Structure formats: C-alpha cells, structure tokens
Structure 1
Amino acid sequence: MNKAETAGVRLQKVLSQAGVASRRAAEDLIARGKVKVNGEPARLGRRVDPAEDVIHVSGKRVITDVETVHYALNKPRGVISTMDDEEGRLSLAEFAKGIDQRVFHVGRLDTDSEGLLLLTNDGDLANRIMHPSHGLPKTYRAQIAGILDKPTYRRLLAGVELDDGPAKADKLKIIDEHAGQSLIEITIHEGRKHIVRRLMDQAGHRVSRLVRTEIGPVRLRNLKPGTVRRLSPDEIGRLYRDVGM
C-alpha cells in the first residue's frame, strides 16, 4: 500500500458521511469488492482524499467532496432561467439563497414553463448533461388543445420536421382528455429551444401548460414550486453514471 493510500480519511468513514451506508455496511461493501477508488478495487483499511479521489460503489459514482453540491429546483411559471437578470425580473437566484455554495443551473426552461431544473457547482457534470451526445431523457407533462388522435400520436413518435431539423417523442402517453383538451406525458432526449412546444405546434396542438417532471434519473416528485431539495446519493450516482462519469 503506497503513501497516498495510507494518508487521508478511512474509506468506510467517507462512504458513511456521503450517505451511502453505515460504516459497518460500508466495510462489507469494500470486502465484497463493490467499491472502487480511481478505477481500482478498494481494500479494507484504504484511506482516501474526499476532494480528489473518484469513488464508485456498485458502479455508481459517489460524490465525497463536501463542496460539490447538487440540488433539484421546481421552477415556477414566470421565472426566467438565469441566475442574474439585469432587468430586475424574478430569476433563479431568488430560490438559491439558502445554498451556501455558488451554483448554476443546468439547462433551461422558458419563462412560461415550470418544473425541474438542476442546480450544481460541478461544471463537468453540467456540460455532460447538456451535451446532446449523452441523450439524457427529459420528461414533461403538457396540457394541449384538442384531442390527440392515433395518427398524430404515431407521427409524434415517428418524427416531424421542424425548421431546424427533425424531432420526435421518445415516449408519449395520454393521461387525460376533457373539454376539448388533453393532458399528455412526453419524453424527449434533446434540449433544443422550446422543443416540446414546437413539436406539438407542428402536430397541430398548442401547449397551454408545460411542466418538466424528470431529468434522467432525477424526478420532481412532490417538490413544491419555488423550493429546492438536495439530490440523494443514489440520484447523484445514477446521474454521473448516465453521463459517463
């Protein structure tokens, strides 16, 4: 065991502080070969630097640097997706006041849209989430005008042509139909501007309300509008795994 492995903090303590498991359970994970440090299987007694070493448990990344933070925000309608607005409009900074670290938002929602945004200070993660090559799925609930008939339903899944290229729904579900309107759930994997609204407009159904409910493994759940919550260790691990980190 080299000097780097004997300096720092015991691995089981770091895993416990990260919320992965109790120290005893963490020792069991290490003994069963479920823990890797910097790509190599860890041994009992291993010490790590929480700010530098890359740790995976059962294939999922564990963030042990206490300065790296990840939050989910339920953006209300009427709020612009920026941390600072020169015109004094209500921005995301209003909802990040309780976060000690300086964070930035991952991706955007237009002013009239609501729902899930991620806040973090991990620039590498943010860049990978937003990069189209990783194809992280995003799920929305949309209130649309009209009843979605079967031909249109199939066309949205097959793809329609927009002014900046083809687009399609990866998944599509009709949740409710009432009074000439439909509530649908739609999943797409790209982040072009206003993509859901433009996709539905092209299909002949104007969106009157749009709420993003999922980004990859992170779900909005019962988070109230205008509030934030820390992501769980499992959500963080799955998020890093899904973007190849």
Structure 2
Amino acid sequence: MTETPETAERGERIAKFLSRAGVTSRRDAEAMIAAGRVRLNNEPVTQPATFVKPGDMVLVDGKPVSEPERTRLWRYHKPDGLVTTHKDPEGRPTVFEHLPPGLPRVISVGRLDLTSEGLLLLTNDGALARRLELPATGWLRRYRVRVHGGVSPEKLKRLASGMQVEGVQYGPIEAHIDSVQRSNTWLSMSLHEGKNREIRRVMQALELPVTRLIRVAYGPFQLGTLPRGAVEEVNGKVLREQVPGLAK
C-alpha cells in the first residue's frame, strides 16, 4: 500500500483505485470493467491493467468517483438478523442499511452470516479489507460459541487436528469449554482462516449444532464493551501500528 516513485509516475491500476475508494472489491471492480460500467477521462475502460493518475476523472455508471481518502477502519457490533452484503437478492435486512448515519461508504473485512453476531471490521479501503482477510496475514479470529450437547475431549481433538466436511478441508481450530448449562455448552474457539460458515459446518459434523455464535476479536481488534449495533473508529495511529505500510 506504500507508494513508490514508479507507481506514482504511472498511477495505480483502476481496479485497485476503485477498491481503495470504497466503491467495491478489486474482483468486483474487474467485473464492472468487463460490463462496460467504468470510464476514465470519458473513455470506456476495457482492461483491468488501466492506470489512474492524479487528476484523472473516473466514472462508474456515469457517476464520478472521488479520490480515495486516507485509509480508515471501524469496529462494528453486528446484531444477528442482518446479512453482510450491500444488497440482498432475497430482500433481507443488511448490515449496511443499519449502520449509524455519517459514515462514508464502507465495506466489510470478511463476513458474519445472518444469525452470527459480534465484531465486524469495516473500512473505506478495499485493498486493506483484502489484506486483512488473507490467511497469510496471520490474524486470529476468536469466537464464543454455544452448541447444543456435551463436548467430549475426543471432539476437541478432532477440531485441533483439522477436519474435512463434505469435501472441504478445514484447518485446525483451537477450542476450550467455558461453561456447561443444562443441555448447552459454551466454547471459546479460535481459527486463522475463517471459511464460509466454517464453525457451524464443522460443529454440525460433530453433531454439535451451533445455537449462538459471537465473534469477539479479529486479530488485535476486540469487540470489548462496544454496544450492539454501535460503530467506533479505530485510532489512525493504532491502525498504522497494527498494519505496517499504511500511508499516513
């Protein structure tokens, strides 16, 4: 994300520009380009390897795109009952429809499914979102998980070794029992990758259906006491300390 003399001279790829501007992800930006929805200096963009320089005019669907602002990050306490998407084809309520007013256009770092809750990171920089989602970043995702049934040491060992469920290989998951309440067990669970519905799928395979899932941390950022539905911006200095290479 740091700028070199070479990239300053030729500019940056238009998909990255749109991602940093918070319009969409890089992958979706390439789809926009292929669909003819993007113009540069009033000319249609046909190749993702098109470069944007300072002062260039970029339009998406005929609307100008502002220069990317400084990279910002927010913590959001997602309630259950919201999907993490900008537009849901099934018409379900979305995270982005329920954010407090005054935020710029943001995208999520990863997702939480409809019935999951807890910490969801939001950013105005699509390149940052992609970087923080990559397993290579090494950030641990931590959850509190309530399952129906008793959890045996053998099942915890299976989680720690990684599992294959319906042809999908899931990596090791660290899990500890926090408490047992009648027919329910609360667990603390940690994983690095976080594939789609990973915890729910591996626990279902162990015959331990998840009845509540709360993300309490994503890397160094904690849910803490952030109220349900609230958003709080991460201090810029803290963000730069945790994500080396960010421009000031």
How far residue 201 of structure 1 moved from its aligned partner, in angstroms, is 1.1
1:225 partner SS? coil
Distance 2:161 2:86 in 1: 37
- Does 2:159 align with 1:156? yes
2:133 to 126, 130, 133: 130
**SS state of the match for residue 194, structure 2?**
coil
1:117 is aligned, of 98, 101, 120, to 120
| SS of structure 2 residue aligned to 1:92 | coil
* Alignment partner, residue 8 of structure 1: none
- The answer (yes or no) to whether the contact 2:100–2:231 under 8 Å persists in 1 is no
Indicate the residue corresponding to 2:79 in structure 1: 76
Residue 235 of structure 1: how far off its partner (Å): 4.3
Pair 101,180 (structure 1): closer, same or farther in 2 beyond 3 Å:
same
The Cα of 1:107 is off from its aligned counterpart by 0.9
In 1: Cα distance, 2:141 partner to 2:96 partner? 23
Percent identity (aligned):
32
> Residue 226 of structure 1: which of 226, 229, 240 is its match?
229
Structure 1 counterpart SS, 2:227: coil
Report the equivalent of 1:102.
105
Q: TM-score when scaled to structure 2?
A: 0.66
**What is residue 205 of structure 1 aligned with on the other side?**
208
- What is the CA–CA distance in structure 1 between the aligned matches of 2:102 and 2:218, rounded to whole Å? 21
- SS of the residue corresponding to residue 72 of structure 1 reads strand
Partner of 1:37 in structure 2?
none
Give CA deviations for 1:121-161 in whole Å, capped at 9, x if unaligned: 11221111122332321111110011111111111111221
Give the match for residue 29 of structure 1.
none
Q: In the aligned structure 2, how far is the partner of 1:235 from the partner of 1:212?
A: 21
CA distance in 2, matches of 1:135, 1:189: 6
Alignment: residue pair count: 179
**Residue deviations 1:148-179 (CA, integer Å, cap 9, x gap):** 11111111111221124322444212110120
**In 2, Cα distance between equivalents of 1:240 and 1:164:** 34
Unaligned ranges ≥5, structure 1: 1-64
Whether the aligned pair in 1 keeps the contact of 2:174 and 2:190 (CA below 8 Å) is: yes
Aligned Cα RMSD in Å? 2.1
Structure 1 residues 110 and 73: CA distance shift in structure 2, 3 A? same
Distance 2:99 2:212 in 1: 24
Q: How does 1:1-245 map to 2 (within 5 A)?
A: 67-85=70-88, 87-233=90-236, 235-241=238-244
AA matched with 2:118: G
Give, in angstroms, the shift of residue 191 of structure 1. Answer: 2.4
What is the TM-score of this pair, normalised by structure 1?
0.66
Output one character per residue of 1:28-63: Cα deviation in whole Å (capped at 9) or x when no partner. xxxxxxxxxxxxxxxxxxxxxxxxxxxxxxxxxxxx
Q: Which amino acid aligns with 1:130?
A: E
Where structure 2 has 5 or more consecutive residues not aligned to the other structure, the ranges are 1-67
